[in-house]
Amino acid sequence: MAKRESTFKNMALALAVITAVAGAALALVYSVTAEPIKASQIAKTNNAIKMVIPEFETMTDTTMMPETGKDSIRLYTLIKGTENSGYAVETYTDNGFSGRFKLMVGFTPDGAISNIEVLEHKETPGLGTKMALPGFKDQFKGIQLADLPGEQLKVKKDGGTVDAITAATISSRGFCDAVNRAYSTFKTAKKQ
């Protein structure tokens, strides 16, 4: 077989064929992995809900726009028998050191924080990632934001009550921002 001449037409044709084959391969991989990825995300969310409010039998979810922020927040109302066992709020902040991270914040029916789980983040390993450890998260348990000045959590450096992670104050402030956004959404839902 003779070698083809390297012309613009031949190069464009070769590039078009390579692009079409690569695009078809990506589409095939996406179609095969889309459902397992979606199922994994649902399982991760359900596990986080069970971590923040462990005692419930059924749940309903509502999507709400927070007073601050640009994306919607999901609020799960959790029921055990005929009684409300609490609320789980899937919240976020864009104020992390490395950008957005997401949390699941659990509230008891009276508004106290029951637990917090980190859903995703891109914070600095060894520093900001400590927000997912019990040593940091557990200080929020039992806090009634309604009892705080301005109903806002703040790090001690900003006049608040939260012990910031050493060398990760920005991540700690972001964590407080996400919890404050969750509480604001929780309060709005309780009024409705």
CA geometry: angle 153, 156, 159, nearest 5 deg: 75
In which residue ranges of the chain is pLDDT below 70? 1-2, 69
pLDDT of residue 158: 92
pLDDT of residue 1: 61
- Write down the pTM of the prediction: 0.81
Give how far Cα 75 sits from Cα of 24, 65, 147, 169, Å. Answer: 38, 10, 22, 27
Q: Residue 82 carries which DSSP code?
A: T
- Comparing C-alpha atoms, which of 62, 124, 56 is closest to residue 96? 124
Interatomic CA distance for residues 136 and 144, integer angstroms = 17
- CA torsion through residues 173, 175, 179, 181, sign: positive
Where exactly are the structural domains of the chain? 49-191
